[in-house]
Amino acid sequence: MPTAIYAGVNVTVNDEGFFEIPDEWTEAMAPEIARAEGIDGLTEPHWQVIKFMRAEYAEKGTGPTVRILGKTSGVSIKELYQLFPKGPAKEAAKIAGIPKPRGCI
């Protein structure tokens, strides 16, 4: 399993860079992961989404889809794409240190 170093700490990630063990994540790591994704400087709305992703993961065992984020996070889908241009569900999950959302079948 590949590893990465964020905020000076070694963490386990999958081959796409998603955390395998969400407990290894700390808030201090988020800005570094975001920078690697091309997002310089996390704003308050970014943090709102990141915290929402972690809460959803803790409750349901998977990150929410974009549609559910738009319905329940308090941020519209258009704004979510402005915050996380590569796709909010995946990019926010990566920055929030949770595994890649399973999505639906």
Partner 1 sequence: MAKRIVILGGGTGGTLTANRLRRSFFEEDAEVIVVDQNDDHVYQPGLLFVPFGLARADELVRPRHDQLHKGIRFHQVPIDRVDIKEDQVFLADGTVLGYDVLIVASGSRLEADETEGLTGPGWRENVFTFYDLAGAAALHDALEAFDGGKVVVNVVDLPIKCPVAPLEFCFLADWYFGQRGIRDKVDLSYVTPLDGAFTKPVASRRLAGLLEEKGVSLITEFNTGEVDGAGGRLISYDEREILFDLAVIVPLHSGATYVSNSPGLGDELGFVAVDEHTLQAVAKENIFAIGDAAGVPTSKAGSVTHFEGEVLVENVRRFLAGEPLDATYDGHANCFIETGFGKALLIDFNYDTEPLPGHFPTSVGLPLLKESRLNHLGKLMFQSLYWHSLLPGRDLPGMGSAMPRRGKVTSGVR
Q: Which residues are catalytic?
A: 104
Exposure b/e, 3-13, CB count within 10 A at least 16 = b: ebebeeeebeb
Q: Toward partner 1, which CB reaches closer, 35 or 102?
A: 102
Shortest separation between residue 52's beta carbon and partner 1, angstroms: 12
Shortest separation between residue 16's beta carbon and partner 1, angstroms: 11
Exposure b/e, 49-74, CB count within 10 A at least 16 = b: bbebbbebbeeeeebbebeebbeebe
Q: Judged by CB under 8 A, does residue 100 bind partner 1? A: no
Site for partner 1 in 38-67 (CB under 8 A): 64-67
Tokens 């990141």, residue? 50
- Site residues (CB under 8 A) for partner 1? 64-68, 71-72, 77-78, 80-81, 85-87, 102-105
